[in-house]
Amino acid sequence: MKRTVTFLPDNASVTVDDNTNLFRAVKASGLYVLSSCGGKGNCGKCKVIIKEGVVESGKSRSFLSPEETARGYALACLSRVKSDLVVEIPPESRMQAKHKIATGANMEELIKLMQSAGGCLESRISRIYLELSPPTIDDNIADYERVRRALDKAGFDASLLHMNFLVLKKLSHVLREGNWNVTVSVFKVSAVLEVLDIFPGNATRTRYGAAVDIGTTTVVVYLVDMANGHIIGTASMYNSQVKCGDDVITRIVYATERNGLKELQDLVVGNINTMLAELAEKNKVPQAMIDYIVVAGNTTMMHLLYGIDPQYIREEPYIPTATFFPLIRGKSVGLQVDPQAIIYSMPNVASYVGGDISSGVLVSQIHKQDKVSLFIDIGTNGEIVLGNKDWLVTAACSAGPAFEGSGIKFGMRAMEGAIEEVEINSKTYEVNFRVIGDSKPIGICGSGMIDILAEMYLSGVIDQKGKIREEIGSKRIRRGESGLEFVIAWRVESAINKEIVITEVDLDNLIRAKAAIYAGFATLLAHMDMGFGDIETLSIAGGFGRYIDVERAITIGMLPDLPVDKFQFLGNTSIMGAYYGLLCDQLRHEAEEIAKKMTYIELSVSRSFMDEYMSALFLPHTNLNAFPTVKKELEKRKKVV
């Protein structure tokens, strides 16, 4: 049975199965509710108020006062949906970040967020409605000159006018079709005023744009009404390039050594076209009216989108062809939009810090703060920015796509059938897990892997190096094809008729990934002669970031052991920044300033990074004292190894 849950004050609705966990319903709606424990009933932060309808609530460990209970408060993670609901997320449970969280599903929020960052609806392209005087024998200037004259009259300096010949070709017909009333799309670069397109009549209200996030793994598209900034629709799909390689390095190899550049370009362009077509059809938007596309992604993704050989990104000294990409036309890469549409790519910083990160900083606003913040985008790669209003340093920590399932025997992305939460009993070593969709599991997603690593360590199944302690004598420990492994789900529990296990190779991959992230933080701080104590906020962006349980991530030493309230989750800041840049040219320009301001540290040749990395190849770290809460938890479980 389906239930509709409406969340206030956003008035966002989501349809879920009966008995769905309310915490997951919040996630599914695209909204956020505070949680440090990731929805396990351990932190008491996900308080909501049930305004209408019925929930079935588990025990609340007395996180709620009697007064709160009387007022309808419940913990979302301990409540199950039993009817259609109206639920309020009270201020204390909303993200306490300097910036609120917004996603595509929460569209009005995103405009407000952009406005709070100083943005306004002033795009790079504008539509101007012109009422021309019809030509006569005495006023017989050319059509093009007539448009120029009208633009001049309307206050635009059209002395340096440019019109692509595709527009010129239809000019005479459009002018007459519109009975000399037309709308032009204009775009100004320096003193040159370019007419991008022309339409009969008044077409000032029918301009559309697209914000696109090209992730190594996922491509996201927002279709935007440029007249009012509304997000008409959003879509996302896996980047089809994945079949040519999970990470940027294998893609580069595929492009250069296997002559696959064109194929990779076509794949991602195909993804964007598929989603644009879907969104356009669904929302009755003519695709040819999409004239501005702002794309954010890592530097390699941008090279592949433009069809530029990324070879030298991979070879020392790691030089991309471009970081600030020149504008190109939609038709140049095969996007099915106005042929004259302009594609702008958010400014990249270096080979391994792309436009997704300048977008991220723009959204995080750390470049405007007095105090020092860390920003990390955890996607297929892990890029870190440290800084404040005076300076910004950045690095890519080549974490690799382990947490997205790559290189992990039963790894998978966060989708139906993925084990997303795991608990291991410290005495019996028995395993409890939760599966996305409440079905039998088929694999383990990133948050499940973090849980597994944390729980295996805390329960003593593995040692500080991630080695399985055979001596504990659990029946879940066994020797498989690639050495020792630990059974998470027995054959009867799984949907794939075999045990779902985690191997020592998996554990090693995960530890190397988390170590790279932590070492990245530490290296940037050391570079600035700082420590984690100097950090005011640690902002986590990225699709995967959304699902991270901060306490668990601290437990494995992926994130530093800071107070939980210093962390904020920003969501997909890449698409958010692209959306900002699409709508507001001033913010687009601000992103360029951010990118220019960032100092890039090449970690792959950094001695300091190697040292930090080696120290971080332990759980949580060679220096356990740097992780007091982990130490405390270990003591609690009496399993200090």
- Point out which span in 21-29, 172-180, 230-238, 448-456 binds a second copy (CB under 8 A): 172-180
Measured in whole angstroms, how far is the alpha carbon of residue 563 from the centre of its chain?
Answer: 24
Q: Answer yes or no whether residue 599 interacts with a second copy by CB under 8 A.
A: no
Q: Of the candidates 4, 84, 144, 238, which one interacts with a second copy according to CB under 8 A?
A: 144
DSSP state, residue 134:
P
Q: Three-state SS string across 403-439, please?
A: HHCCCCCCECCCCCCEEEEEEECCCCCCEEEEEHHHC
DSSP assignment of 609-620: HHHHHHHTSSSS
Measured in whole angstroms, how far is the alpha carbon of residue 641 from the centre of its chain?
Answer: 36
- Point out which span in 10-18, 107-115, 166-174, 610-618 binds a second copy (CB under 8 A): 166-174
Q: Of the candidates 1, 59, 70, 140, which one interacts with a second copy according to CB under 8 A?
A: 140
Nearer CB in complex with a second copy: 396/402: 396
Nearer CB in complex with a second copy: 214/224: 214
DSSP state, residue 43:
S
Q: Answer yes or no whether residue 171 interacts with a second copy by CB under 8 A.
A: yes
Q: Answer yes or no whether residue 277 interacts with a second copy by CB under 8 A.
A: no
Q: Answer yes or no whether residue 594 interacts with a second copy by CB under 8 A.
A: no
Label residues 330-342 b or e (16+ Cβ within 10 Å = b).
beebebbbbbbbb
Nearer CB in complex with a second copy: 270/307: 307
Q: Of the candidates 1, 66, 67, 136, which one interacts with a second copy according to CB under 8 A?
A: 136
Backbone angles phi, psi at 70, to 5 degrees: -60, -30
DSSP assignment of 536-562: SEEEEESTTGGG--HHHHHHTTSS---
Q: Answer yes or no whether residue 200 interacts with a second copy by CB under 8 A.
A: no
Identify residues 308-337 at the interface with a second copy (CB under 8 A). Answer: 308-309, 311-312, 316-328, 332-333
Backbone angles phi, psi at 611, to 5 degrees: -65, -45
CB of 492 to a second copy, least distance (A): 54
Which of 470, 522, 510 has its CA nearest to residue 618? 510
Backbone angles phi, psi at 170, to 5 degrees: -100, -5
Q: Answer yes or no whether residue 179 interacts with a second copy by CB under 8 A.
A: no
Q: Answer yes or no whether residue 256 interacts with a second copy by CB under 8 A.
A: no
The whole-angstrom separation of Cα 24 and Cα 599 is 39
- Point out which span in 103-111, 159-167, 196-204, 465-473 binds a second copy (CB under 8 A): 159-167
Kindly provide the residue ranges of all beta strands, DSSP E only, lying in 306-417, ordered along the sequence. Answer: 328-329, 342-345, 373-378, 382-387, 392-396
The whole-angstrom separation of Cα 264 and Cα 250 is 12
Q: Answer yes or no whether residue 129 interacts with a second copy by CB under 8 A.
A: no
Size of the site for a second copy (CB under 8 A): 52
Nearer CB in complex with a second copy: 329/389: 329
**Kind and range of the H or E run holding 590:** helix 585-597
Q: Answer yes or no whether residue 217 interacts with a second copy by CB under 8 A.
A: no
- Point out which span in 233-241, 345-353, 364-372, 394-402 binds a second copy (CB under 8 A): 345-353
Nearer CB in complex with a second copy: 14/595: 595
Q: Answer yes or no whether residue 605 interacts with a second copy by CB under 8 A.
A: yes
Backbone angles phi, psi at 405, to 5 degrees: 105, -10
CB of 155 to a second copy, least distance (A): 18
The residue ranges that bind a second copy (CB under 8 A) are 135-137, 140-145, 160-165, 168-169, 171-173, 176, 189-192, 306-309, 311-312, 316-328, 332-333, 348, 350-351, 600, 602, 605
